[in-house]
Structure 1
Amino acid sequence: MSQEIICECGHKNPEGTILCEACGKPLQEDNPKQLLNMRYEGSARRSQTYNRTAIDKIWNYLSSVKVGVTLIILVLIAIAIGTIFPQNIYIPAGADPDTFYKDQYGVLGQIYKTLGFDNLYKSWWFIILIGLLGASIVVASLDRFFPLHRALKNQKVTRHERFMKKQRLFGTTPTTKGEEQLQKAEQALKEKKYKVSREKGALLAEKGRFSRWGPYVNHIGLMVVLIAAVLRFIPGMYVNETMWIREGETKALPGTHNEYYITNHKFILTTYNKQDPQYKQAIKENGSIVKSYQSDVTLFKPEGQSVLGATPKLKKLRDDQIKVNSPLEFAGYQVFQADYRLNELYKMNFTLTDQSEKKTFGKLSVNLYNPKENYDLGHGYKVKLTYYFPDFYFDDNGDPATKSDTPNNPAFIFDVTTPDKPKGETSFVAIKTNQAISKDNQYKLTFAGLDTRNVSGLIVKRDFTVWIFFVGAMIFLLGVVQGMYWQHRRIWLRKINGELWLSAHTNKNWHGIKKDIAYLTDSLGIPEPVDQLEQKVVTEERRKHS
């Protein structure tokens, strides 16, 4: 249980108080020649008083400025490392993150992926780091704000002699007109916009106290920013999803919880004219230069209750064009035109012929994204797609396999049945490859052309946290201005044994308070107080050179 410290002035101070909150008397043994440390008004801070329980130790650790600065540095280092290689949302579409970083960047890429830098802002350790930083800011603020506020609130006009003597600016002047001089001092200081309080034989002039709260306003701003960052993990608060949609496709917009669908009717790419004098030379050296690109789309919303696994009935909302820097906007969402792929494989066309390719028996077209299993060419000629490898390669065992579902290098195994071959023939067909698997094949599928289509790369965004980030930033800047451009200045005057004692303190800009004191002393006709810190430095310099 904490013990109160009762000062000779009668004020009860919390355990750990260095200077009496009321009169300023030092309550602990100190060096008579050393000036008072006024940073926190000598108030009792929990982190400097208690170190008994585990909670005390955690509090003391988190309240440390060094710990807070270290956490900030670690966060900045993590963010910097996270920019070395692309985040996983920016790797090529269809690429497997588990292999992409190792294949592209070697061992460093593998370490990068293993440590979670590829998805930095959602990695568990980064979230913990942000949480610790937030806790450090809160604890450090509470540990300092309330004791400082209490000390400034409880300060009395009449200050203890030792308190006044150990201020940086201090001086005494013999006087027989103490009350008259205090009256003049009050008038002079009010002219300098000080708030003046009087007690019998004592005066306190103060201004700019609100500047002491600047750092804590900064902390509030930082906490608001951190809260905004945490809110981004709440579904619906922040959406930043990438999607690829081919011409003719209708897809649910990612991040909208299937509440909105979009159809890509056409992708349009325009380039600069070869005869344009501004780009003629560049086009000659580098080929065509893209001028703009856009997607012509239709936005839909499902009607009625959706059945799981079934395509919902869609209600058209509007037609629009998504251009670079001109997004489709609706219900707080923005859909940006971000990328494109031209002439992506869509269908492969084949002709069934004899081995000499002199006779044809029909044609078929295989949709590379949604292939059918059976194709009836008529007159008893049928083709069955037995196996399909969109991104074909041979695995370690020499068997055909696929790297991904994207048809970068399609290959097929077909079974062909004909009137004279009812048991069928099996063939392996790929680009520039046509091999018979069964014996004595009389038929083969001959490549007859490709159908391609363009693909639009879109980014779906919605951010309800932007305004919170903005508010936090404004609060932080307000704290910076509050703490940097104003100073907390205090001047104490007191009649003691036929002398007028004057002392002063400011949290910064000593030149400014010295100008105020010079105006005061000129009004009173007394000498200016001595800057004891400068006097000490001068004395030490003389001692060194003597």
Structure 2
Amino acid sequence: MTLDDSASTELRWWSIPGRFLRQELLPVLTNLRLAIALLLLIALFSISGTVIEQGQSPAFYQANYPEHPALFGFLTWKVIQVVGLDHVYRTWWFLALLILFGTSLTACTFTRQLPALKASRRWKYYEEPRQFQKLALSAELDTGSLNSLNEILQKRRYKIFQENSNILYARKGIVGRIGPIIVHVGIVTILLGGILGAMTGFMAQEMVSSGNTFQVQNIVDAGPWASTKTLKDWSVRVNRFWIDYTPTGGIDQFYSDMSVLNNQGQEVDHKKIFVNQPLRYHGVTFYQTDWGISAVRIQFNNSPIFQLPMASLDTNGKGRLWGSWIPTKPDLSEGVSLIAKDLQGMVLIYDSSGKLVDTVRTGMATKVNGVNLKIVDVIGSTGLQIKSDPGIPMVYSGFAVLMLGTVMSYFSHSQIWALQKGDRLYVGGKTNRAQVAFQQEVLDILDKLSSPSENDNQTNTTESLASNPPL
């Protein structure tokens, strides 16, 4: 084998992947049905991630998605955990769908949209009357001139190309050809932002008593590339938590007054948060999502004030109650139970037999087991959901680009050709959308070219349009 034969064989081997890419892979990637199917699958699983609670404990799913009876006949906690529906947006198959859909859009952009834009930027003059017959809309006039047509088209914001005195080409709305490309860029940017957020973001939950300072530690869900090192550089103090109630006793809104502190304990940010008004600091967002009762402050006779924790009680779904047991004797042989259901200050006192002893409000005292028991305060706790998603700015930018591209796509790309041959003027045009509006525009142009006083000319125009009807 000669050197030339070896080079030729190596060249053929290198050309096999390129040929496979062009002839086998690209047609599949750019297939519209594939893109629609991928989009529907992404939408379906995104909905499932919204409906099914994400990042909860196995016990939560076992309690809410039992095997008997299974939700919809198949959805159980085992299915959720095996498939990964408890963390949909970070599963390998969901990320694979995003990557495949983005690849399909990118391939379509380079193989179809960009060549179509390049073709629309080129122009070709019509030099023979027969060329106008293939246009959707055309007419033959025995009056008018290219100069007058040029003036009319300029007023209608057409871009004019004229090589000599008898040939003209005009177009407008080239931005409509750019629109689909911008739409694809916006969608791909959104997909990249979603992947970035899934891989580098995290979610945490904290229940913090009013007056306490904490660092974000209870992370319940995190991407494989998530970094939490910067969380140690600052902390958050819940200055105060309170609830506004309606006149009927229902919750109107609950609030947390929060401060961000640096390692020296200095306040670097401060905000009062409530539902839909979170605190944002260094890419971490604190949402007000829940509340509870963390402790009760009491005083026996003239003793110092004690703060005792209150725990959430199991009511089988019949409301929320918090309780605590308070000893009334030093040897703990006797005591009472305190029950509270909200932060309005009412506390129920029960003895060891479960009998209601008294009902008091904060600041009031009552006699139990021979001692004077005063309820100084009921301390609330704020439930915070803490999220970090570095992909959000990219997602928002992608949506902005997508909306821009959508608006641009509504512009019609309209083209008009004209040929002056002797005393005959041939005019024709086509557009990619808004056919009826374009037809009316061309008719208005022809009316201005034709003399209104010459009925014969109007008849010729009408007959020409009838012989070449618009789509």
TM-score by length of 1: 0.55
Residue in 1 aligned with 2:45?
78
Cα 1:494–1:322 shift into 2, 3 Å: closer
- In the TM superposition, 1:69-218 aligns within 5 A as 69-88=36-55, 91=56, 96=59, 99-103=62-66, 107=70, 108-110=75-77, 111-158=79-126, 163-172=131-140, 181-200=145-164, 201-218=166-183
Cα 1:532–1:61 shift into 2, 3 Å: farther
Cα 1:327–1:140 shift into 2, 3 Å: closer
- The one-letter amino acid paired with 1:158 is Y
- Cα deviation, residue 234, structure 1: 5.0
How many residues matched?
363
- Cα deviation, residue 54, structure 1: 4.3
Residue in 2 aligned with 1:445?
none
Residue in 1 aligned with 2:274?
324
Cα 1:518–1:112 shift into 2, 3 Å: same
The answer as to 2:432 corresponding to 1:507 is yes
CA contact 2:172–2:413 (8 Å) conserved in 1: yes
- Cα deviation, residue 192, structure 1: 2.7
- The one-letter amino acid paired with 1:341 is G
Q: What secondary structure does 1:128 align onto?
A: helix
* 1:376-435 alpha-carbon deviations (Å, 9 max, x no partner): xxxxxxxxxxxxxxx9xxxxxxxxxxxxxxxx9xxxxxxxxxxxxxxxxxxxxxxx9xxx
Cα 1:517–1:260 shift into 2, 3 Å: same
Provide the C-alpha distance between the structure 2 equivalents of 1:495 and 1:294, rounded to a whole number of angstroms. Answer: 77
The answer as to 2:262 corresponding to 1:301 is yes
The answer as to 2:33 corresponding to 1:66 is yes
Q: What secondary structure does 1:241 align onto?
A: strand
Provide the C-alpha distance between the structure 1 equivalents of 2:84 and 2:30, rounded to a whole number of angstroms. Answer: 29
- The one-letter amino acid paired with 1:324 is F
Residue in 2 aligned with 1:309?
none
CA contact 1:322–1:336 (8 Å) conserved in 2: no
CA contact 1:494–1:500 (8 Å) conserved in 2: yes
Of 193, 196, 209, the residue aligned with 1:228 is 193
Residue in 1 aligned with 2:287?
336
* 1:170-209 alpha-carbon deviations (Å, 9 max, x no partner): 3445x5x8xx722332233223332222234321122222
Provide the C-alpha distance between the structure 2 equivalents of 1:262 and 1:227, rounded to a whole number of angstroms. Answer: 31
CA contact 1:169–1:531 (8 Å) conserved in 2: no
CA contact 2:146–2:418 (8 Å) conserved in 1: yes
- Cα deviation, residue 52, structure 1: 5.1
Residue in 2 aligned with 1:530?
465
| Bigger share in helix | 2
- In the TM superposition, 1:245-256 aligns within 5 A as 245-246=208-209, 250-254=213-217, 255=228, 256=230
Provide the C-alpha distance between the structure 1 equivalents of 2:120 and 2:114, rounded to a whole number of angstroms. Answer: 10
- Cα deviation, residue 105, structure 1: 8.1
Of 392, 395, 407, the residue aligned with 1:481 is 407
If asked which structure has higher relative contact order (CA below 8 Å, sep 6+), I would say 2
Cα 1:343–1:199 shift into 2, 3 Å: closer
Cα 1:318–1:161 shift into 2, 3 Å: closer
Provide the C-alpha distance between the structure 1 equivalents of 2:433 and 2:62, rounded to a whole number of angstroms. Answer: 57
* 1:14-34 alpha-carbon deviations (Å, 9 max, x no partner): xxxxxxxxxxxxxxxxxxxxx
Provide the C-alpha distance between the structure 1 equivalents of 2:257 and 2:409, rounded to a whole number of angstroms. Answer: 53
- The one-letter amino acid paired with 2:286 is V
Provide the C-alpha distance between the structure 1 equivalents of 2:426 and 2:470, rounded to a whole number of angstroms. Answer: 18
* 1:454-496 alpha-carbon deviations (Å, 9 max, x no partner): 5431122445544433332222222222222x21111112246
Cα 1:498–1:511 shift into 2, 3 Å: same
CA contact 2:261–2:267 (8 Å) conserved in 1: yes
* 1:32-64 alpha-carbon deviations (Å, 9 max, x no partner): xxxxxxxxxxxxxxxxxxx95245322111112
Percent sequence identity is 19
Residue in 2 aligned with 1:241?
204
Residue in 2 aligned with 1:28?
none
Rg: which structure is higher? 1
Provide the C-alpha distance between the structure 2 equivalents of 1:531 and 1:490, rounded to a whole number of angstroms. Answer: 20
Cα 1:245–1:96 shift into 2, 3 Å: farther
CA contact 2:294–2:309 (8 Å) conserved in 1: no
The answer as to 2:232 corresponding to 1:258 is yes
CA RMSD of aligned residues (A): 4.4
- Cα deviation, residue 296, structure 1: 6.1
Residue in 1 aligned with 2:250?
289
CA contact 1:171–1:503 (8 Å) conserved in 2: yes
Provide the C-alpha distance between the structure 1 equivalents of 2:133 and 2:51, rounded to a whole number of angstroms. Answer: 57
The answer for unaligned runs of 5 or more in structure 2 is 1-17, 218-227, 297-307, 314-322, 324-351, 353-377, 452-456
Q: What secondary structure does 2:157 align onto?
A: coil
- Cα deviation, residue 299, structure 1: 4.2
* 1:293-321 alpha-carbon deviations (Å, 9 max, x no partner): 4456664434xxxxxxxxxxx63437967
Provide the C-alpha distance between the structure 1 equivalents of 2:98 and 2:269, rounded to a whole number of angstroms. Answer: 42
- The one-letter amino acid paired with 1:457 is G
Residue in 2 aligned with 1:469?
395
Provide the C-alpha distance between the structure 2 equivalents of 1:482 and 1:319, rounded to a whole number of angstroms. Answer: 41
TM-score by length of 2: 0.63
